[in-house]
Structure 1
Amino acid sequence: MKSAVLDNWHQLLRDPSGRRIAERRKGLGKTMVIDKGMGLNAFTDFIQTAGPFVDIVKLGFGTAVLYDQDLLRKKLKLASDSNLVMMPGGTLLEVAIQQGAVASFLDRICSLGFTGVEISDGTIELDRIRRTSLIKECVSRGLIVVTEYGKKAAGSEIDPEELAFTAHCDWEAGAEMVAVEARESGINIGLFDEHGHCKESILEDVLGKVDQASRLIWEAPLKNQQAELLLQFGAGVHLGNIAPGEALSLEAMRRGLRADTFGFGQQSADPDYMI
């Protein structure tokens, strides 16, 4: 019995705060990873290493159509077996809208085994009626819908009132979460300035105007951005556009197992924990 106990890490080393594991069971602190082209071996390694701490994998922009179909199906199967939502990037749907091929796009992703879809208008204009219609159509097909707010052009900023209106309408139409655009760079776009730091005044305005702000996913590809948002909201904040190789280190930050968020942990008074 003694050796069996010693084979496992102490619970307060795995989760110093004593809260993170319970939070994950409640769906808090979701992590969305952006996959820009991992091969099968790399994807398998990623799932084996970080899969238990990731919730959504997005095949970045329009990369999904460039995969060998057998490889893509294998990746989708691995994701499904690991309870990961897999979705193509929102830009691919934007191309489908522009090309008048939305029905074909949705038929194809459903037949391949995608379980989610991202609806965005980062590079096109999408009116409210069409956006709502797309959300409802995707939900009716059994897809988990994540919408995205914001434009992809450098210097694009968040309009808190517009975000609040968009998020409310998207959730009412059936979207599960709304991602706030930051691209894969996180520089000079959305919430972040030209140095990649959070614009605190905009963040405060968003929190003052958006109901259910806990349903927002903040795209935060840079480590300092992840730390800033974790310190602002706590471990339960949803973060997106995380590089596959950073998913495990992000989970360590969520648990107070990294210097940036060391204060998340708390020492128990239980003598059994004084090891």
Structure 2
Amino acid sequence: MDFLSLPKRTTGNRVYGLTCIADFGTSMGELRNILADFHTMIDIAKIGIGSAYVTPNLRTKINLYKEHEIKPYCGGTLFEKCYYQNKLNEYIHYLHDLGIEWIEVSNGTLDIPLQTRIELISQLKESFHVIAEVGSKDCRKEMRISEWLEEIQLLLEAGSEYVITEGRDSGTSGIYEECGTVRCELIHELIKNIDPKKIIFEAPTPKHQMYFIKEIGPNVNLGNVKINDVLMLEAQRCGLRSETFYLEEHECNLL
């Protein structure tokens, strides 16, 4: 029974307002229980880092996500490992065999030239939905705001459906300072110049998530969300937490 006035959320097969979880080893039994209750709050599931390669019952896990209409894909670290070892053809076959339809092209660990990533995306978009990632996992490597803008725009133009802004699972690099503080000037420039519906902001903690909800709106795309936090995040999006309590539909100008 709906009787509260809440910010309007996207529903169903969302193309924005995405909640993208990071699965860093959720057991099958726990996953079945979580998805039974909360699958409608999850849109994309990343098998974190390169863990897919050593995950027991990986095919069963992938099929479980797909049964609940959640899009699974492998973390960018596995892509980079395959690129480094010149095994991308084998990786593509591996993903097709598993029935994975999404692929991440990243350079969080390796310094893969932008032009190389653009060329790879142009090829991969024929067989996969591509998610690109911008930013380094090394907090000592800072990109100028102009570089962020250029890379994101070029990666979208190459055929990426979304671009992820690096934040790590700790929220200490990329769009964050090493101490975990959001690089607010960077975020403001990104959403001013690029459609935020095409950006997935890595936001691993409730504090980070609340920043983006308040700054951009309840239907901001958020990534690296812990699987046990999806209900709390949905409550935050709906203005049902103190920090987002006064979030009203008319205030959500962007999303």
56-65 vs 46-55, which moves further: 46-55
Deviation string 1:42-91 (CA, Å, 9 cap, x unpaired) is 111221222101111001111011023xx111111111111111000001
- Residue equivalent to 2:241: 258
Deviation string 1:28-49 (CA, Å, 9 cap, x unpaired) is 2101100001111111122122
* Alpha-carbon spacing, 1:166–1:256, altered in 2? closer, same or farther (3 Å): same
- Residue equivalent to 1:206: 190
Asked if the contact 1:49–1:248 (Cα under 8 Å) also holds between the matched residues in 2, the reply is: no
Whole-angstrom distance in 1 between the partners of 2:197 and 2:59: 33
Deviation string 1:114-162 (CA, Å, 9 cap, x unpaired) is 1211110111121233212221232211x22111000011244342211
Flag the structure with higher helix content.
1
Q: CA RMSD in A?
A: 1.8
The two structures have a TM-score, normalised by structure 2, of: 0.91
% identical aligned pairs: 28
Q: Which has the larger radius of gyration?
A: 1
Paired positions, count: 249
SS of the counterpart of 1:264? coil
- Residue equivalent to 2:161: 176
Asked if the contact 2:7–2:239 (Cα under 8 Å) also holds between the matched residues in 1, the reply is: no
Q: Which of 114, 120, 135 is the aligned partner of 1:134? A: 120
- Residue equivalent to 1:48: 36
Asked if the contact 2:16–2:221 (Cα under 8 Å) also holds between the matched residues in 1, the reply is: yes
- Residue equivalent to 1:6: none
- Residue equivalent to 1:20: 9
- Residue equivalent to 2:22: 34
Whole-angstrom distance in 1 between the partners of 2:92 and 2:51: 16
Asked if the contact 1:33–1:57 (Cα under 8 Å) also holds between the matched residues in 2, the reply is: yes
- Residue equivalent to 2:2: 11
Asked if the contact 1:186–1:196 (Cα under 8 Å) also holds between the matched residues in 2, the reply is: yes
Deviation string 1:142-187 (CA, Å, 9 cap, x unpaired) is x221110000112443422112211122111211100000100002
Whole-angstrom distance in 2 between the partners of 1:202 and 1:174: 23
The two structures have a TM-score, normalised by structure 1, of: 0.85
Whole-angstrom distance in 2 between the partners of 1:262 and 1:117: 36
Which amino acid in the other structure matches residue 149 of structure 2?
A: A
Query: How far is the alpha carbon of 1:193 from its aligned partner?
Result: 2.4
Whole-angstrom distance in 1 between the partners of 2:13 and 2:125: 23
Q: Is 1:242 the counterpart of 2:228 in the alignment?
A: no
Structure 1: runs of 5 or more not aligned:
1-9, 267-275
Whole-angstrom distance in 2 between the partners of 1:227 and 1:186: 13
- Residue equivalent to 1:66: 54
Structure 2: runs of 5 or more not aligned:
250-255
- Residue equivalent to 1:5: none
Whole-angstrom distance in 1 between the partners of 2:188 and 2:7: 28
* Alpha-carbon spacing, 1:259–1:133, altered in 2? closer, same or farther (3 Å): same
Whole-angstrom distance in 1 between the partners of 2:143 and 2:235: 29
Deviation string 1:3-24 (CA, Å, 9 cap, x unpaired) is xxxxxxx2135xx3251146x6
Which amino acid in the other structure matches residue 153 of structure 1?
A: D
Whole-angstrom distance in 2 between the partners of 1:249 and 1:44: 19
Whole-angstrom distance in 2 between the partners of 1:227 and 1:155: 26
- Residue equivalent to 1:108: 94
SS of the counterpart of 2:236? helix
Asked if the contact 2:170–2:204 (Cα under 8 Å) also holds between the matched residues in 1, the reply is: yes
Which amino acid in the other structure matches residue 9 of structure 2?
A: R
SS of the counterpart of 2:3? helix
- Residue equivalent to 1:96: 82
Q: Which runs of 4+ in 1 moved over 3 A?
A: 155-158
SS of the counterpart of 2:200? strand
